Amino acid sequence: MKTILLVDDSTSIRNIVKGSLVREYLVLEADNGQAALDLVAKGTAVDLFLLDVNMPVMDGLTLLKHIKANPLFAKTPVLMLTTETKQERRQEAKTLGATGWILKPCDPETLLAALKNLL
Amino acid sequence: MIVLLGAWLASLGLTAAVTVRVVRTRRTPAAPPVPPPVFPPVPQVLSPPPDVRDEVPAPVPPELRLHRDLQVRLGQSIVGQLRSTTDPLSANLLEIRSDLVDLAQKVRTHDQISAGQEDRDWLQGDAAAVKTDMAEAARLTRETTQSMATHIHALKKTLRTILEVNGEVADLSDRINVLSINASIEAARAGTSGRGFKVIASQVKSLALETSAFLAQVRTLLQGAQDLFDRVDRDLEGKGTAVETLLLKQDASFISLQDNYREQGVRFSQLCRTIEGFVGRLDLQVNRLSPLVQLHEVTVQELENLNQVFVHVLDQVLAPGDGSPPGEAQVHAWGTLVREHLTTAGELAVLDAVLAAWGCPPADEAPPRVGSLELF
């Protein structure tokens, strides 16, 4: 079973997204970018990252930068799952190496289809 | 955003004190003193940006300060209440989905075990061997019964032959007896010279009588043996038939057991599929709630953002000015400041509409569709 690291400061969003994925994937959680970095620093294997953009402590774009700088995860797909609609943020994520951008609220089937396509 | 609010509220405490002093100076000396407004402490996470803190003026109209403070606190209260419903709801949905996944997995496992190779092997292997052994036992029983019946028939035939011989010997004995009587008569007729012959005739007669008695005894024994063989023969035939019937019945029972087992397996599998279907439909229904709960959470975040926007706007209003309406540059600057707090397409569209009404051109980019997925 593939592992997905879901990073979002909203407990509700984490619960709902995890609920949609739990049938087919092992879902790990972190409530901000720094917590996610701490998790992968322990050697946790991750097959795909699912990141919110606006988060306290460390936002999703900064986390994306760290992920892509890590040789272990440089090629790991990263999907941004956010309410953020500003074009410049999306462009920044693309430049930093994000794989895709999904706007919340999203249909679980759309998300699952994207994950199946990437994993 | 919460950081900024916290910091501003901290600064509000100082401002509120200033406001109170202003109010007191406006009242008559006879009027009772107005107590300063008491607000619950709001935790301060980080310091606000210096430029924002510096822009908060003092003194300012007290009703605007009150309005600002109410906006902050009521907004936080509403957001808190909404979030206190979303979090448990999403946790319950996660629990339900996890349980459904668990249940579906268990049902699938039991179904696989039920229709598993081991059971089919048992039916086709050990159980089939039992069936073969039973058939072999039936065959051996049948052969043994037939063999014994053949031997008994042969013995009965031999007995009949012996009885026939016995009858012939009895007949011979009778004739010897008659002959001895005739010899006795002839000996008597011969007188003294036939006396010796009379003795022999008497002994022959005695021998003939003893032989008849012996033959009668043998015949009785032979007839008893014949009756015994007849009973054994009938018993053997009856037992053989009973054993064969029993084995055939067991064979039928085994076939019935096999059929029953298969039928139970089919029914169990159907039940499993029904449960799986139900779980799948339930899972789908629960899944359909996912966007709604997400929307609820996004709406809460929007409210939180809007609350911060209102506070920003009020801060701008509270800033000192010359009383003239804001120019396009000022409105644009406010718009930029507010835009920083907004994320969703709906909020940004409203902002653009407001800015357009104030003479500022809307943003160039078209807002993306909610729920859309863009792969880079």
- Collapsing DSSP to helix, strand or coil, A70 comes out as coil
Helix or strand (DSSP H, E) at B97: helix B62-114
Roughly how many angstroms between the first and final C-alpha of chain A, as a whole number?
11
Max Cα–Cα distance, chain A, nearest Å: 35
> Residue B189 burial by CB count (10 A; 0-12/13-18/19+): exposed, middle or buried?
exposed
- Compute the distance between CA of residue B85 and CA of residue B116 in angstroms, rounded to an integer: 46
- Give the angle subtended at the CA of B18 by the CAs of B14 and B23, to the nearest 5°: 145
Q: Which tokens hold the place of B116?
A: 């598993």
How many CB pairs lie under 8 A apart between chains A and B? Answer: 127
Helix or strand (DSSP H, E) at B374: strand B373-375
- Closest chain A residue by Cα to residue B294: A105
Q: Cα dist. B347→A95, B37, B263, B303, B355 in Å?
A: 26, 33, 62, 10, 12
Candidates A11, A15, A50: best to mutate against B (most CBs of B within 10 A) is A15
Range of the domain at A70: 3-118
- Compute the distance between CA of residue B57 and CA of residue B338 in angstroms, rounded to an integer: 19
Domain with CATH 1.10.287.950 in chain B: 117-277
Measured CB to CB, residues of chain A less than 8 Å from chain B are 10-20, 22-23, 53-54, 82-87, 90, 93-94, 98-111, 114, 117
Average pLDDT over residues A64-90: 92
Q: Which of B294, B296, B288, B295 shows the shortest CA–CA distance to B81?
A: B296
Provide Rg for chain B, Cα atoms. 60
How confident is the model at residue B51, as a pLDDT? 44
- Cβ contacts (< 8 Å) between A14 and chain B: which residues? 90
Whether the per-residue pLDDT at A111 is higher than 80: the answer is yes
Strands laid side by side in the A3-7 sheet: A26-30, A3-7, A48-51, A78-82, A100-103, B373-375
Confidence of residue A46 (pLDDT cuts 50, 70, 90): very high
- Compute the distance between CA of residue B360 and CA of residue B346 in angstroms, rounded to an integer: 18
| Cβ-count burial B222-247 (b if 16+ within 10 Å, e if not) | beeebeebeeebeebeeebeebeeeb
For residue B66, count other CB atoms closer than 10 A to its CB. Answer: 13
CB within 8 Å: B370 and A11: no
B373 touches chain A (CB under 8 A): yes
CB within 8 Å: B344 and A82: no
How confident is the model at residue B123, as a pLDDT? 63
Q: Which residues of B, range 254-293, sit inside 8 Å of A by Cβ?
A: 283, 286-287, 290-293
CB within 8 Å: B371 and A54: no
Which residues of chain B register pLDDT less than 70?
Answer: 1-61, 116-124, 320-326, 362-371
Q: Which of B182, B167, B169 shows the shortest CA–CA distance to B211?
A: B169
How confident is the model at residue B119, as a pLDDT? 59
How confident is the model at residue A30, as a pLDDT? 97
> Residue A69 burial by CB count (10 A; 0-12/13-18/19+): exposed, middle or buried?
exposed
Roughly how many angstroms between the first and final C-alpha of chain B, as a whole number?
30
Cβ-nearest to A13 among B297, B368, B369: B297
3-class SS string, B280-332: HHHHHHHHHHHHHHHHHHHHHHHHHHHHHHHHHHHHHHHCCCCCCCCCHHHHH
Confidence of residue A95 (pLDDT cuts 50, 70, 90): very high
CB within 8 Å: B373 and A22: no
- Closest chain A residue by Cα to residue B100: A23
Identify the CATH class of B117-277. mainly alpha
Q: How many domains does chain A have?
A: 1
Q: What is the CATH number of the domain that holds A106?
A: 3.40.50.2300
DSSP secondary structure letters along B101-125: HHHHHHHHHHHHHHT-HHHHHHHHT
- Closest chain B residue by Cα to residue A88: B365
pLDDT tens digits along B116-136: 655 566 666 777 777 788 778
When the pLDDT of each residue in chain B is averaged and rounded to a whole number, the result is 74
> What is the distance in angstroms between the Cα of B304 and the nearest Cα belonging to chain A?
13
- The DSSP bridge partners found for residue A5 are A28, A49
Cis status of the peptide bond prior to B367, with omega within 30 of 0: no
- Cβ contacts (< 8 Å) between B375 and chain A: which residues? 99-100, 114, 117
- Compute the distance between CA of residue B333 and CA of residue B51 in angstroms, rounded to an integer: 14
